[in-house]
Structure 1
């Protein structure tokens, strides 16, 4: 690995990616259309430090099943991301990062959670006997007399449908409060605790049975009081009863479990002011963790920091109902001039999670996912807010009993330094000596791109044996060849760094359960996806024509086609008799080539030799190739400066073979398939203004524009409906240069009625 410790003082938020997708629910085989905004030091000015973005699709068990790279252009990356066939129905994680972000823990990578449905593979579901049915969660070790306390209830997903009602009751069977049970099994209630009463949660089932659970009252415990005021937190610890004062260590973690502060605090009942850093204030979820003198976690308080919510955009359609294949005009009022760019998606209703207002089970199970789940969501809805309160109480209980996340966090690669890709996609690695296992400094490493887009680069390893190449103007999967130019090359090996992160954390292990009411919804999604695939070749087109960038050498001084000459028996004779400016020389048993420059009357030894774009350093092996396998020989007979390297003439051999005329390659050389960036593609928005032909149109996405810019006060987009009758949702999202978001939605129906 290319390695040095990253300098202390670098801030994790030097780079940040905001990722948007056209929707949140997909069928296997569909495309995810996305927009990724790049921010450096909190601003998007188009002055990108990194020019490449890496996006991976991660399974719930931590396996990467798809990997793509995209160009960042003026602070923005857009495109499509194919969903592989054959995936199981589950919630997956889209993870986006730059190479430079690999210097920091993975929790700072951007993650989006999406649901992928495979209708052809049945869900696993719950097979084992249930270990629990209803659980109750509370703050600390119980509710406190005389205080307003909140409790969370969680009903197992398998029995939610069997629950008739939830009630909070006292020991005299008096009803204190009805508890709303949400469809995800969560419930939350707040009440004033009276000293003389005991409280229970009574779960009444539809079969008449009930489950009654006592809510414990707190015994003497450390009292923690806190309040957030502007950019600081006031906190007070009070020892219980006549207990002596204790000294504790207070930590504050953000929602990704990065530790931002550590301070000593005494339980003397006095208020203490603690300043909070920018990252804590901007994080929606934070965790206050209290440790005793032995560093044991004794209390976890989950805090929801109410930030400025994304501003709501007013979105309107001219009608609420449209016929099939008709034009729809949408208007919306941009928030302010600072929001310079908007994404607009029109998708089948139910595929955009924001409208569901239910926190899914895998979020309830895994505290690590909550922050990425609620980022940029509107949480003004009371239903969602109550679920969030319940989830935070559940997290407090779990994290107090299993505090390892506060020690371990996420995996990271911070032992190595990952340079920013300032000019484009890179490939990097190290050359080392096999015998000593030590890096090989000052060694020339060559890399050649083979095929229709030939490139050649050379890099001299640094004192740590490291090399790095920038590969611009390459797209998709490319075949690369790497070798070293060294007399002892057989004693060397080339080790190439992984371009993607190879360490993943499983993020939940509970089975995905889809409500039976979603059956028709899933069937419609699947049928539409199948019909679109059958009727349409593609839903995208390249935005720009691909321009091949050949090797950046000047025009050859001379070129010969061997078919124009009488056949000679050896390549040595061909070079000496036919090829101008080049001669074969021999010293003892070693052959070499010399190039003559008639302008300067200089003779250059050891020119760069290329055979089908592969560098060749063993002239003896080159001369063993039959001339019948050669098609063309070209010569540059002058010195040529190539980056930091000087080539004293260049001789090109082009063969009529696909195996480089069978030349023996260096022992240390290697071929590899390299994933370059994806071509920039744009979504095809169907135009039914001319009704010529009747190709069926069944799309789950009617419109997608990741970068809609408007010069007027009102934004406007137009598109056509498809043949599918049903409800669609319009989602408009804006983002400004400071990373502040705006969001607006509306819906309409496609029907002939």
Structure 2
């Protein structure tokens, strides 16, 4: 065993003394230089969102505070100025989005959960556009249960969800496994014949739940060569000295045996072992097969894309061992990469360093132990560091009614997310367990987590310039309007064409112009001096020699990531939930609730009667058509073609027959403003109405007769031509037809095509709303208040003594309060609530 002679600890741009020693060492050091330069040229950002609550009901509002940081040291990012936050339905549709201005790395916003939404598990995700260069896995994502509004106000024990029948599912489904599943993770990436290896494993059930197993590893002769048993949350490891490239593993779970093959074993290669049991330092051991030539290789030690240490060696047949002090490395996921002169990764391993871990805790006290309904609450806050010194900083704060708390599997906070969960793969159960102690048992659990769920968010070969890196998305330092101009008939870019845009909203307007580059791309950066909020009318034109040209004008604004599949922990809720199926669904053979929910108890009922008449589905025709135009694709020409592409359960009995929805006839109505003389497609069947004239369509199914009588008749909305519809007759039919409301444009811009001009819309910054703090100072007997979030403030500040005070009013039912505070100091130190 050879001890390390030289260990290089790096704090600035790397300049290795190895350069003077040999040409191989110079090549190895050049990769390290490239990595640290890459991190400066292409810094990664992270986003974390703190929410006011853990789950919601339709009619509630999701309030959030966003923190955008540079990944290297978790300090507020000065780069991106635009944050994209999206609300996705259980089926993966982006039903609402927010475009927020980032100031000093922070912003806040909200999503009203409209009563017309369907209940289910909703996802909120957030990202800057520059983050998308590093893959969709890098964005922030959290799943919330959203229940139907209680039939009795304030009865939050009534938790009901919709089955989602009839809604097109955009999410990928995770592959179902067997009753017992087992995956193997050799330390460093590979097990090698003839070299002692540590093999991590993970056991899980059919739904993804952790399993407890025991078992043994057998060679080809049937002899047991190692034993295994889960140690922590379905994870464990076993030692193995491989003699062949294939072994059988037999495990036992709940009295039954299951067989697996372990064959991910190389006949020759490298093995890297990391010993994390010592609280002061890492021990790194490198071994190779004796058949491999002696060569100069190196281990780089990095954290969040920055290399802090490197060790070069000429590896002989004996293992090479060296130590690395933990105090010289940052807190977080440490990436050990063994590589050769060609930039090939020979072994790679993640470990977690907690030695220099620092965070602040907030404590809260009230004047009284309990409060009567609607009473004013004065709360005193204190923020301190680990040794009790006061801290002056800011954070977001939520106070909730603990009696209405919804318990999910999500337990991350800004500390655990930034340092741990955002840098490894998959769900981390109870992540604070790894931060509260630094004993041998905790380090062993953390080490297993790193072996089993390790994921290289920071791609070593890309950063070392071994693999190419393509910048697809630019950092948005202001609101952009950019895209590409293509010739209409030929698939050819329009180079050096003049592009003019003009925008209008209410009485405000402005315009600008530029020229496309050689690839037909154009780019405008909108000035921050113009307060661009809400939806604007946007028009663009293309001219050549001062004449309008008929071109395809494609805007680059559809970069939202593909919806991810939900995992087992995403759908875990500790409460009984009632799931309502649609009246069209006689059974769950095709749409099993078990595919979407993993709950202690599920009750299937008929669709509940809503408190108010609302559409079953809303289709944003404008958004869908613009998305196709922006990608240069053809779009449906008529309403009928659009419905065929977008509405499930739409059928025709014959080619020339009318459409039906789930076996029901369709009655069309046009939402025309009173007194308007503009009646689109008069004389045409509704299905043949030009799609360019339509902004939105809504589908009303159940209780459509009530809606028809109350709304359509009272508001004078016109029925589909050519025949008039007898509303009383429609309402009295035994099989009430489905109503499709067509909402045409009323702006005059969409009546006809103008050569060389495209009329569309542009979403500016979202208008930021403030949480409404109810004042019960003048309450009278009989007043009721069922708020679940009693207090929300995205910006609470402590003074130089670390103190702050807030005041709010209690609701009608709260007897115990739940406090959640999260934040980040200017130096990147997380702030969490003291339990």
Fold-level similarity (TM above 0.5): yes
How does the TM-score come out when normalised to structure 2? 0.54
Q: Decide which of 502, 513, 522 is 1:459's aligned counterpart.
A: 513
* Separation in 2, partners of 1:240, 1:486: 67
Q: Does 1:113 align with 2:142?
A: yes
Residue aligning to 2:759: 671
* Separation in 1, partners of 2:217, 2:507: 77
* Separation in 2, partners of 1:33, 1:221: 52
Once the two structures are TM-superposed, the CA of residue 34 in structure 1 deviates from its matched residue by 1.5
* Separation in 1, partners of 2:100, 2:761: 17
Q: Structure 1 unaligned segments of length 5 or more: list them.
A: 1-6, 194-198, 524-532, 536-656, 747-753
Residue aligning to 1:710: 798
Residue aligning to 2:778: 690
Once the two structures are TM-superposed, the CA of residue 375 in structure 1 deviates from its matched residue by 9.2
Q: Decide which of 427, 435, 443 is 1:379's aligned counterpart.
A: 435
Residue aligning to 2:557: 499
Alignment of 1:511-660 (within 5 A): 513-514=571-572, 519=577
Once the two structures are TM-superposed, the CA of residue 303 in structure 1 deviates from its matched residue by 1.4
Change (3 A) 1:459 1:508: same
Change (3 A) 1:137 1:45: closer
Residue aligning to 1:470: 526
Once the two structures are TM-superposed, the CA of residue 682 in structure 1 deviates from its matched residue by 1.0
| Partner SS, residue 770 of structure 2 | strand
* Separation in 2, partners of 1:12, 1:517: 44
Q: Decide which of 302, 307, 312 is 2:350's aligned counterpart.
A: 302
Residue aligning to 2:361: 312
Alignment of 1:75-114 (within 5 A): 75-82=105-112, 86=117, 89-90=120-121, 92=123, 94-97=125-128, 99=129, 104-106=133-135, 110-114=139-143
CA contact (8 A) 2:497 2:543 kept: no
Residue aligning to 2:503: 448
Once the two structures are TM-superposed, the CA of residue 23 in structure 1 deviates from its matched residue by 3.5
Change (3 A) 1:59 1:154: farther
* Separation in 1, partners of 2:324, 2:208: 45
CA contact (8 A) 1:489 1:666 kept: no
Q: Which moved more, 1:35-44 or 1:74-83?
A: 35-44
Change (3 A) 1:324 1:352: farther
Considering only CA atoms, is the larger Rg found in Structure 1 or Structure 2? 1
* Separation in 2, partners of 1:289, 1:744: 36
Residue aligning to 1:595: none
CA contact (8 A) 1:315 1:333 kept: yes
Once the two structures are TM-superposed, the CA of residue 42 in structure 1 deviates from its matched residue by 7.5
| Partner SS, residue 705 of structure 1 | strand
CA contact (8 A) 1:431 1:439 kept: yes
Change (3 A) 1:79 1:254: same
Residue aligning to 1:68: 98
Aligned pair count?
581
Q: Does 1:54 align with 2:84?
A: yes
* Separation in 2, partners of 1:298, 1:661: 61
Once the two structures are TM-superposed, the CA of residue 333 in structure 1 deviates from its matched residue by 1.6
Q: Which moved more, 1:512-521 or 1:682-691?
A: 512-521
Change (3 A) 1:429 1:663: same
Q: Which has the higher strand share?
A: 1
- Cα deviation, 1:577-620, whole Å, max 9, x if unaligned, reads xxxxxxxxxxxxxxxxxxxxxxxxxxxxxxxxxxxxxxxxxxxx
- Cα deviation, 1:144-199, whole Å, max 9, x if unaligned, reads 999997965534266979x8x767999999xx9996665xxx35589999xxxxx9
| Partner SS, residue 391 of structure 1 | helix
Q: Decide which of 482, 487, 500 is 1:428's aligned counterpart.
A: 482
* Separation in 2, partners of 1:15, 1:259: 17
Alignment of 1:742-753 (within 5 A): 742-746=831-835
| Partner SS, residue 162 of structure 2 | coil
- Cα deviation, 1:603-642, whole Å, max 9, x if unaligned, reads xxxxxxxxxxxxxxxxxxxxxxxxxxxxxxxxxxxxxxxx
Change (3 A) 1:50 1:459: farther
Change (3 A) 1:89 1:108: closer
Once the two structures are TM-superposed, the CA of residue 704 in structure 1 deviates from its matched residue by 0.7
| Partner SS, residue 823 of structure 2 | strand
* Separation in 2, partners of 1:696, 1:72: 37
| Partner SS, residue 452 of structure 2 | helix
CA contact (8 A) 2:88 2:124 kept: yes
Q: Which moved more, 1:288-297 or 1:341-350?
A: 288-297
Once the two structures are TM-superposed, the CA of residue 741 in structure 1 deviates from its matched residue by 1.0
Residue aligning to 1:340: 393
CA contact (8 A) 2:46 2:139 kept: yes
Once the two structures are TM-superposed, the CA of residue 33 in structure 1 deviates from its matched residue by 1.2
* Separation in 2, partners of 1:452, 1:100: 32
Q: Decide which of 307, 315, 319 is 1:267's aligned counterpart.
A: 315
RMSD, aligned α-carbons: 6.1
| Partner SS, residue 238 of structure 1 | strand
Change (3 A) 1:155 1:126: same
Q: Does 1:284 align with 2:373?
A: no
Residue aligning to 1:562: none
Alignment of 1:388-403 (within 5 A): 388-395=446-453
* Separation in 1, partners of 2:749, 2:350: 67
CA contact (8 A) 2:131 2:138 kept: yes
CA contact (8 A) 2:483 2:555 kept: yes
Once the two structures are TM-superposed, the CA of residue 716 in structure 1 deviates from its matched residue by 2.0
CA contact (8 A) 1:310 1:377 kept: no
Residue aligning to 1:722: 811
How does the TM-score come out when normalised to structure 1? 0.59
Once the two structures are TM-superposed, the CA of residue 370 in structure 1 deviates from its matched residue by 4.8
* Separation in 1, partners of 2:163, 2:779: 40
* Separation in 2, partners of 1:159, 1:378: 22
Q: Decide which of 137, 156, 163 is 2:205's aligned counterpart.
A: 156
Once the two structures are TM-superposed, the CA of residue 495 in structure 1 deviates from its matched residue by 2.8
* Separation in 1, partners of 2:442, 2:162: 31
Change (3 A) 1:369 1:662: closer
| Partner SS, residue 107 of structure 2 | strand
| Partner SS, residue 683 of structure 1 | coil
CA contact (8 A) 1:18 1:110 kept: no
Q: Does 1:130 align with 2:185?
A: no
